[in-house]
A and B are shown apart, each in its own frame.
Chain A
Amino acid sequence: MEEISLKAQQLFSIGNFNVTNGLFLTLIVSLILITFSIIIRSKVKLIPGKLQGAAEMGIEALLDLMKSTLGSMEAAEKYFPLIASIFIFILTSNLLGIFPGVGSLVLHEEGGGVVPLFRSPAADLNFTLAFAVISVIVTNIIGMVSVGLFAHLGKFFNFKGPIEFFIGILELISEIAKTISLTFRLFGNVFAGEVLLTIISFLVPYFVPLPFLFLEIFVGLIQAFIFAMITLVSISLHTAVHGEEHEH
């Protein structure tokens, strides 16, 4: 059985920069998505083909969902690229991570050890942490732009009274906690799935891992959706003015 490693393993180095198996698959996912983007862009027509039709269906469904959360189609269209990209990137990474054959390709090290060539990107904390940090920073920037710098910072640093001050500090802590929870929720689910599949495949290689594979597909989809939705709700909360928040 392969050695289960908490962190992504190094494949090769480019100067000082170590390329890990997690980053390697992330780059492949990016290349796949960029290729699809170029194909879709070259085939965009008023009367859609199958690929464009499917893409449009997904876009419209997500836009409707975002409209119901943000309250207007204008806001939904404004923040759509961020939410959709988070969802698509995480979903593709999760699905590609459990793609049959991906886990089987290994590199034999000089010392006799074996390093998997690919690792599900979300099973690397750098990936999930990067997404979580991007999500939290971007949502706060959006908040600053839409309600104003001082109004936004006023949520965290409120000197109107001791209770308001304490609530502000809690808000600040909640942003940090959100980053950590986003990071470890995604990492935990995907990493646990990988470990589960590795162990099951080791114990009973045929047929038995199949239901677990379906479970991991479902988990991958749900986790991508959750990450995107948490980011969306954060945008919704940060763009709402104080008066509106109290009304809710």
Chain B
Amino acid sequence: MENALLSQLGIDWKLFLSQAVNFGILLLVLTFFVYKPLIKVIKERNKKLEEGLEKAKEADIRLKEVDVIGKEKIKEAEATSVNIIKATENKAKVLEQELQKKSEEKQLQMQKDLEASYKKQKEQSEELVLKNALDLVRKTIIKTVELKPDAIDEALIKKAVESVKHE
């Protein structure tokens, strides 16, 4: 009766076994040709993605660090430049003062030199004038003597002087 029921339903142990074996073969083929290689590739890709994300995160952190370092360096550079400018200004002021002092001293010295030179020239010119005047007087007197001494008058002296001048 049992066999008749199975026969009516079409159940045959050979067909049953062939279906089972067929599925077993397919399971093996799919496992080794599809599932394993694809799961391996998926894992590999996910690993690479994770590594990439991690590296990106690290790069982000490093970038922030570099940014902070850069800002600090800029701050330091600003502070240094301000110090340099201040130092240069101070140095310039000192130099300016020194130069001013030197120029004042030089000016004073030049003034003194000029005064001395003027004085000397004045003395020389006075001496020369005096010498010339003496020469003139002496020559005038000699001329007067050469001319008629008793006719000494104003016109005569003038004439003598003119004569000396022409000489």
Question: Could you tell me which A residues sit within 8 Å of B by CB distance?
Answer: 6-8, 16-18, 20, 22-23, 26-27, 30, 33-34, 36-38, 40-41, 44-46, 48, 52, 55-56, 59-60, 63, 77, 80-82, 84-85, 88-89, 121, 124-127, 129-131, 133-134
Question: Distance in Å from the Cβ of B128 to the closest Cβ of chain A?
Answer: 113
27 A-B contacts (beta carbon < 8 Å): A6-B9, A16-B14, A17-B18, A18-B12, A20-B10, A33-B26, A33-B30, A37-B30, A38-B33, A40-B33, A41-B37, A44-B38, A45-B41, A46-B44, A48-B41, A52-B41, A55-B38, A59-B38, A81-B31, A81-B35, A82-B27, A89-B23, A125-B11, A126-B12, A126-B18, A130-B20, A133-B16
Does B9 contact A7, Cβ atoms closer than 8 Å? yes
Total A-B Cβ pairs within 8 A: 113
Interface of B is mostly: helix
A80 neighbours in B (Cβ, 8 Å)? 35, 39
Q: A7-B8, A56-B38, A126-B11 are in contact. Are A133 and B20 (CB under 8 A)?
A: yes
Does A34 contact B10, Cβ atoms closer than 8 Å? no
B14 neighbours in A (Cβ, 8 Å)? 16-18
Question: Distance in Å from the Cβ of A125 to the closest Cβ of chain B?
Answer: 5
Does B38 contact A52, Cβ atoms closer than 8 Å? yes
Closest to A130 in B: B19
Instruction: Tell me the bound Cα distance from A81 to B26 in angstroms.
Output: 10
The 10 closest A-B CB pairs, nearest first, are A7-B10, A130-B19, A37-B33, A126-B15, A81-B31, A41-B33, A130-B20, A85-B27, A44-B37, A126-B16
B9 neighbours in A (Cβ, 8 Å)? 6-7, 125
Does A60 contact B33, Cβ atoms closer than 8 Å? no
